[in-house]
Amino acid sequence: MFSFNLPMFLAIEENITNDLISKLDKEFKDIANKKIIILTSKGIYEKFKKGIDSLIKEYRKISIYFVEDSSYDIAVNVAKKISIEEFEIVIGFGGGKVLDTAKYASYVSKKKYVSIPTTLSNDGVASPIAVLKTFEGKAKSFGCNSPDGIIIDTNIIKNAPNILLMAGIGDTVSNYTALFDWKLESKHKGIHPNDFAYLLSDTALNMLLYSREEHIRNGNFIKQLAQSLVLSGLAMDIAGNSRPCSGSEHLFSHSLDEHYNINKPHGLKVALGSIASCIFQGRSYEPIVTFLKRYDVDVSPEKLGISKEIFIDTWMKAQATRPDRFSVLNTIELSKDYLEKIYEEIMEVLK
Ligand SMILES: [Zn+2]
């Protein structure tokens, strides 16, 4: 028997944060008398200073705390503060670093958590996983709970940098190869993948793949991207692990993070991984390449600063990053020559 903890509420609307307190009051009751901590970064605070300041002025029980990095130590320290000062609700307002810290800190301190992203760069918006730095700055995924509430203001997201929205698209594309690998693993272990988790992840992918919206900044497209990333997060919650959205393409990204310092968004690295994984899986990468090109999402190794040598070495070490994970990498023999050919092919295709 397994259990999951789906969010209590979800709102994806234009300007919904203008009316944040009344939205929260509907969900938590008597919000004005609850001690709330807003975790954000200084950069985000400067951008939304007027709104945040007037909120703090009007509701004396709201405090603000700045999170500038997302390490395990910082998250646990924030949890300590939340417990000692008896905050009842944690709000994460920002990008991935802020949200992952807030998610884990609220999980450790066992408090309600509301996620308000300012960008949509990966499926962490709704997932029960927090990515935090550990020793020597190495990132690790920690299981926790999905947020209790998710509020996505499409007007705020519209102002996010293009590259982060493109990364969000890339993380959704990775479901294409992740689902294939999940099926392979299930077959290998003689178990059946959770049908509903599979359905949600597949729907998240198809929503974007077959979207009619042409522009990344179109309000409808942003809404679809938000819905898609939330569905991916819920898929992981129902599955009880990240398999519906994380296969060999994520192992490539983990390996890159472990061995090389490629400072590019996660979603772009996994999308490049997905194109190679399609080849390993014996499938056509055409649908995802066409899709990425439609929104000008460039994941060419050149653009990401990944040389041929790094590409080959990263794939050679990918399986070792999560030895317990079965994927297409367990079924093929990777050689330098083979990976070199794949690298050349991808460079050509993404020209
Ligand atoms: Zn991902």
Nearest in space to 168 (alpha carbons), one of 241, 318, 271? 271
Ligand 1 center–CA 237 separation, angstroms = 14
Q: DSSP for 172-199?
A: HHTHHHHHHHHHHHHHHHT----HHHHH
Ligand 1 center to 61 CA (angstroms): 35
Whole-number Å distance, alpha carbon 25 to ligand 1 midpoint, is 32
Q: Hey, what are 32's tokens?
A: 């004005």
> 92: which strand partners?
39, 115
Place of tokens 């992203």: 117
What gap in Å lies between CA 118 and CA 120, rounded to an integer? 7
In the reported structure, the alpha carbon of residue 29 is separated from the centroid of ligand 1 by a whole-number distance in angstroms of: 34
Residue 339 CA to ligand 1 centre (angstroms): 23
- CA dist., res. 232 & res. 253, Å (int): 18
CA of 194 to the centre of ligand 1 (A): 19
CATH for 9-157?
A: 3.40.50.1970
Q: What is the DSSP letter of 18?
A: G
Distance in Å, CA 165 to ligand 1 centroid: 13
Domain spans in the chain, listed from the N-terminal domain onward = 9-157, 162-349
Q: Is 272 within 8 Å of 304 (Cβ atoms)? A: yes
Q: Ligand 1 centre from 174 Cα, in Å?
A: 7
Residue 256 C-alpha to ligand 1 middle, in angstroms? 13
Ligand 1 centre from 30 Cα, in Å?
Answer: 36
Which residue, 325, 302, 299, 306, is CA-closest to 259? 306
Q: What is the CATH number of domain 162-349?
A: 1.20.1090.10
Would you say 226 and 12 are in contact if contact means Cβ atoms under 8 Å apart? yes
Ligand 1 centroid distance, CA of 250 (Å): 7
Distance 14 CA to ligand 1 centre (A): 26
d(CA 171, ligand 1 centre) in Å = 5
What's residue 1's pLDDT?
47
| CA 52 – ligand 1 centroid, Å | 30
30 CB-near residues (< 8 Å, 6+ apart): none
- Crossing angle of the two packed helices 175-189 and 248-259, in degrees rounded to 10: 110
Number of helices (H), then strands (E), in the chain: 16, 8
**Structural tokens at position 344:** 């050349």
Ion ligand 1 neighbours (CB, 5 A) are 171
Ranges in the chain, pLDDT < 70: 1-2
Predicted local confidence at residue 292, as pLDDT: 96
Would you tell me how many other CB atoms lie within 10 Å of the CB of residue 113?
25
- Ligand 1 centre to CA of 177 (Å) is 12
Start-to-end Cα distance in the chain: 49
Residue 2's pLDDT is what?
61
Residue type, 211: S
Using DSSP, state whether 60 is helix, strand or coil: coil
Residue 129 is given by DSSP the state E
- Report the pLDDT value the prediction gives residue 164, as an integer from 0 to 100: 96
